[in-house]
Amino acid sequence: MPSLNAHTAISAQHGGLAVGSVGTVIFHAPPVREVWPRQIGLVPGQADCFQHREAADLLDQAVAEGGTAVVCQLLSGMGGVGKTQLAAHYARTAWEAGEVDLLMWINATSREAITAAYARAGTQVADADPSDPEEAVRRLLTWLQTTERRWLVVLDDLGDPGALQGLWPPARRHGRALVTTRRRDAALSGPGRRRIDIGLFSAGESVDYLTAKLASAQRDDEPQIAALAEDLGYLPLALAQAVTYLIDLGLSCAEYRTRLADRTRELASVVPERGNLPDDHHDIIAATWSLSIERANALRPQGLARPVLELASVLDPNGIPTEVLTAPPVLDRLAITRRAMILKRGDRKKVPRVVTEQEAADALRCLHRLSLVDFVPGARHETVRVHHLVQRATREAHMQDAEDGAGGRELGGLLVRIDAETAAEAVEYVWPVEERDDTLMAALQANAKAVAEHMPVTAVVGIDGSHYRLGLRLGEAGHAAEARHHFERLLAGLSVGAKRTERGKGIEQLFVRHNIAWWQMEAGDPAGAATAFERLLADKEDVLGAHPSTFATRYGLARAQGESGDPAAAVAAFEALLADCLDAYTYRTRSFSLRRTVRFAQRAADRQMAVRIEALSGATDRSPGALPKWEPPAPSARYGLAWWRGMAGEPVRAACELEELLAEQGDLLAAFDPLRLATRHAFAYWKAEAGDPGRAIPLLTELLADQTSILGPEHPQTLTTRHTLARWKGAVGDRARAVVLLTELLADQTRILGSEHPQTLVTCHTLARGQSRSAGEDV
């Protein structure tokens, strides 16, 4: 018979109690059976109406192509593009397919979170002691490195590359790691790692998602879905929150778009409250990027990334030349901002006086490292893009910071205005005077239009600033309608607070009204412009008298009368204007008139006028007798008079006067001067009309090349020369070529100017005649 000790030992082996001695009870638990496969950590649920997207295919392809060489894929992208959902979908698919024995999902927002998750996993799969977390982490990494089991470790939302120092999952042919992060630091690269940049939804993916979400709520708004997706910038997070909001409130897509476009509303007011966010979202759109901005701002050069982003938030989201964000006006603003920040911290010992161009460029790179901006690949000029919702959230946060700091909403609005004015000055600074680069010019024009929308009209003071110059640049670049709209906003701002009796007649208002009428004419409404010029002229004569600005308005009125169909009236008006110019600007009063004109040019920020004045000053000693007819604005008046003589039926006289004028311009005007280019066109035009198209065509061909280089291929003057050249090619017998040129021109004018613009209609008529003649019809 076995002894008691033997019996109790046998019983204990089967989970019983062993009584070794009186007062001692020993319990042996049965061995825990290992259960595989295992999942540690909660994989986020699949988003409602989850859309398969191209990025998922890229991830699958990257894993397949990596083989055993690449064991870690890094999904990098701005907040809200769906990195976590892609990683969760991949993990869930691998788990359900039985491709992994261990699936670990870890929140990687900090090193502490990573080590805590590793330690817990170490106790579960590597028999680590839970009382020694550091050893548990080492045991887990060792296990991952040596096990034959298949594993997948997902590190979600890595906030700092340094958080994984010494903690990267080891390279192992049985293992895979997946990291999601907003970071793009070089420190994330390494052996066995590959970065996959995750972008926005495509337009089709966005429409499919919204359609599915609306259908699930028995809603259909197909005509507006694509437009809503575009308004939200195809950002998955924004799409999800916006569609949830509009379904909850019973709005149509059109009604939601109206709310979203209202800049008096904050982004937070057009998405659900935090407690009602879809798909377990943690933050509303507006708060999504705040942590990224803080981290970028903490990188060297400290304190500059945020203000650079604030300036970028009032520019064109589709492309900002880095020259703009590193221009002197920006550097001055950054220096003031950094100085204020340092003094606010109480550190008065070392306050840098300046911010260098390199520091501003480094700040942009900090923003890029946090996926807040993107550098456009392959661009001739280095250009950055910013999602327009990031821009809006940045502006709103800037205003909110001012309000929270007891500055109130007025201070917040002032800060955004200062951002816009600084950005406008930077665009103006970079704007080329002579040399033209079409890519740079297109970007600057887009940025000029963008920043104009963020310059509050009620804050306008005078016409010496960037607001006024910006309108001139828009018009000079060929955007007449935008320039007119800009000056109309400017006039509204100048009118706020003006005395009732002075409204419309203040010096600044008179200048702005002139520009409104001028760009109205350039935009294709000469009749409306003539009416505006007539009213303006009466006010200018009353307030200014024989001022250069008054002569400029008389010039505009004369031209508008001619373009409205009354060339005789235009000729009479130009003859009177030229006579008055010669009387007002005599050689005896040259010094006085030049001083007034210089002031006029400076206030109007007219660089071309400044060039003419400089040339005029240098020409005094050479030809004093001929000087009066070159006092501004006499040259423009002479050009206008000659042109409208031709339109009134005197093409030979017009050509002769223009040829004489053109010869004089060669000594006084720069080759890029718009007046000289216009005179070259007018001379060739009337030379052809006077019966010498053989000489005119080479002149027009040479002019077109110069205009394309100086003004750009889409400038209205360039388009006009294309029409004249095509017309006369047809007139001399090359009708087939003329039809081709006119067909191409009509497509460009319709796209650039609009189908109802007078120039477009003239080309349409010329093309129809040319086609009829080519077909042998009698027209």
Q: Which amino acid is at 531?
A: T
Alpha-carbon distances of 293 from 162, 182, 193, 309, rounded to whole Å: 18, 11, 26, 9
191 preceded by a cis bond (ω within 30 of 0): no
Q: What does the chain come to in residues?
A: 779
Q: Which of 193-207, 210-224, 578-592 has the lowest mean pLDDT?
A: 578-592
How far is it, in rounded angstroms, from Cα 398 to Cα 412?
7
The partner residues of 104 in beta bridges, in order of sequence, read 40, 153
82, 189: one domain: yes
pLDDT average, residue stretch 273-283? 88
Residue 439 in any domain: the answer is: yes
Distance of CA 479 to the CA centre of its chain: 17
Q: Which amino acid is at 382?
A: E
Give the burial class of 72: count Cβ atoms within 10 A of its Cβ; 0-12 exposed, 13-18 middle, 19 or more buried: buried
Query: What SS3 state is found at 320?
Result: strand
Backbone dihedral angles phi then psi of residue 320, each to the nearest 5 degrees: -115, 115
How far is it, in rounded angstroms, from Cα 205 to Cα 229?
10
233, 303: one domain: no
DSSP state of 191: T
Q: Which amino acid is at 91?
A: A
The angle at the Cα of 641, spanning 697 to 578, to the nearest 5 degrees, equals 145
With b meaning 16 or more CB within 10 Å and e meaning fewer, what string describes 105-128? bbbbbebebbbbbbbbbbbbbbeb
Q: Taking the C-alpha atoms of 662, 611, 613 and 474 in order, what is their torsion angle to the nearest 10 degrees? A: 90
The partner residues of 72 in beta bridges, in order of sequence, read 177, 193
Contact 48, 216 (CB under 8 A): yes
Q: Which amino acid is at 615?
A: A
Place of tokens 């090359």: 734
Contact 257, 285 (CB under 8 A): no
Contact 86, 94 (CB under 8 A): no
Q: Is the pLDDT assigned to residue 714 strictly greater than 70?
A: yes
Question: What's the Rg (C-alpha) of the chain?
Answer: 36
How far is it, in rounded angstroms, from Cα 253 to Cα 236?
16
Contact 411, 402 (CB under 8 A): yes
Residue 670 in any domain: the answer is: no
pLDDT band of 744, cuts 50, 70, 90: very high
Residues 6+ apart with CB under 8 A from 182: 76, 77, 78, 79, 157, 159, 292, 370, 371
Q: Crossing angle, helix 236-248 and helix 203-216, to 10 degrees?
A: 30
How far is it, in rounded angstroms, from Cα 321 to Cα 159?
29
pLDDT band of 107, cuts 50, 70, 90: very high
Q: Is the pLDDT assigned to residue 777 strictly greater than 60?
A: no
193, 51: one domain: yes
Residues 6+ apart with CB under 8 A from 777: none
Look at residues 162, 182, 197 and tell me which one is the last residue of a structural domain: 197
Alpha-carbon distances of 128 from 89, 124, 172, rounded to whole Å: 30, 7, 21
Residue 713 in any domain: the answer is: no
Residue 697 in any domain: the answer is: no
Residue 100 in any domain: the answer is: yes
pLDDT digits (tens, 9 = 90+) for 472-481: 888 877 788 8
Positive/negative CA dihedral, 227, 232, 234, 240: negative
Contact 391, 451 (CB under 8 A): no
Q: Hey, what are 427's tokens?
A: 């665009």
Query: What SS3 state is found at 235?
Result: coil
Q: Hey, what are 646's tokens?
A: 């031709």
Query: What SS3 state is found at 407?
Result: coil
pTM of the model: 0.78
pLDDT average, residue stretch 723-752? 94
Q: Hey, what are 471's tokens?
A: 């309108």
How far is it, in rounded angstroms, from Cα 447 to Cα 449?
5
Q: Nearest CA to 471 among 454, 492, 485?
A: 485
Residue 674 in any domain: the answer is: no
Q: Which amino acid is at 569?
A: A
Q: Nearest CA to 324 among 370, 393, 386, 377?
A: 386
Residue 404: per-residue pLDDT: 62
170, 59: one domain: yes
Q: Nearest CA to 771 among 704, 726, 716?
A: 726
Alpha-carbon distances of 32 from 15, 29, 102, 133, rounded to whole Å: 12, 8, 18, 22
213, 261: one domain: yes
Q: Which amino acid is at 222?
A: E
Q: Hey, what are 418's tokens?
A: 């200062």
Contact 85, 21 (CB under 8 A): no
How far is it, in rounded angstroms, from Cα 81 to Cα 83?
6
Residue 660: per-residue pLDDT: 92
Which residues span the domain enclosing 245? Answer: 203-284
pLDDT digits (tens, 9 = 90+) for 310-328: 999 999 999 999 999 999 9
Q: Hey, what are 293's tokens?
A: 């901005």
The partner residues of 353 in beta bridges, in order of sequence, read none
274, 407: one domain: no
Q: Taking the C-alpha atoms of 726, 731, 735 and 739 in order, what is their torsion angle to the nearest 10 degrees? A: 30
279, 294: one domain: no
pLDDT average, residue stretch 658-663? 92
Q: Hey, what are 286's tokens?
A: 């507006």
Residue 703: per-residue pLDDT: 96
pLDDT band of 348, cuts 50, 70, 90: low
pLDDT band of 216, cuts 50, 70, 90: confident
Contact 289, 386 (CB under 8 A): no
Q: Is the pLDDT assigned to residue 695 strictly greater than 90?
A: yes
Q: Hey, what are 553's tokens?
A: 């308005």
Contact 187, 162 (CB under 8 A): yes
Residue 483 in any domain: the answer is: no
325, 406: one domain: yes
- The total number of structural domains in the chain stands at 4
Positive/negative CA dihedral, 559, 561, 566, 571: negative
219, 268: one domain: yes
63, 193: one domain: yes
pLDDT-above-90 percentage for the chain? 56
Please report the beta strands in 624-685, taking only residues with DSSP state E, as ranges in sequence order: none
Residue 598: per-residue pLDDT: 42
* Residue 623 burial (CB count, 10 A): 12
Residue 611: per-residue pLDDT: 44
Q: Which of 126-140, 153-167, 497-511, 679-693 has the lowest mean pLDDT?
A: 497-511
Residue 557 in any domain: the answer is: no
Look at residues 284, 302, 334 and tell me which one is the last residue of a structural domain: 284
Q: Which amino acid is at 403?
A: E
Residue 502: per-residue pLDDT: 55
pLDDT band of 623, cuts 50, 70, 90: very low
Q: Is the pLDDT assigned to residue 622 strictly greater than 80?
A: no
Contact 645, 592 (CB under 8 A): no
Look at residues 197, 229, 253 and tell me which one is the last residue of a structural domain: 197
How far is it, in rounded angstroms, from Cα 436 to Cα 201?
36
pLDDT digits (tens, 9 = 90+) for 546-567: 888 898 899 999 999 999 999 9
pLDDT band of 411, cuts 50, 70, 90: low
pLDDT band of 60, cuts 50, 70, 90: confident
Q: Nearest CA to 633 among 687, 531, 558?
A: 558
Residue 498: per-residue pLDDT: 56
The partner residues of 105 in beta bridges, in order of sequence, read 154
How far is it, in rounded angstroms, from Cα 408 to Cα 706?
53
Q: Nearest CA to 242 among 269, 263, 219?
A: 269
Mean pLDDT, all residues of the chain? 84
First to last CA, the chain: 131
374 or 14, greater pLDDT? 374
Residue 738: per-residue pLDDT: 94
Give me the long-range contacts of 140-147 (CB less than 8 A, separation at least 24): 141/167, 141/169, 141/170, 144/169, 144/170, 144/172, 144/175, 145/170, 145/172, 147/172, 147/174
Query: What SS3 state is found at 121?
Result: helix
Q: Is the pLDDT assigned to residue 102 strictly greater than 80?
A: yes
Contact 402, 412 (CB under 8 A): yes
401, 333: one domain: yes
346, 386: one domain: yes
Place of tokens 């109480």: 346
pLDDT average, residue stretch 365-383? 88
Q: What DSSP element (H or E) covers 25?
A: strand 24-27
Q: Taking the C-alpha atoms of 113, 118, 121 and 126 in order, what is their torsion angle to the nearest 10 degrees? A: -160
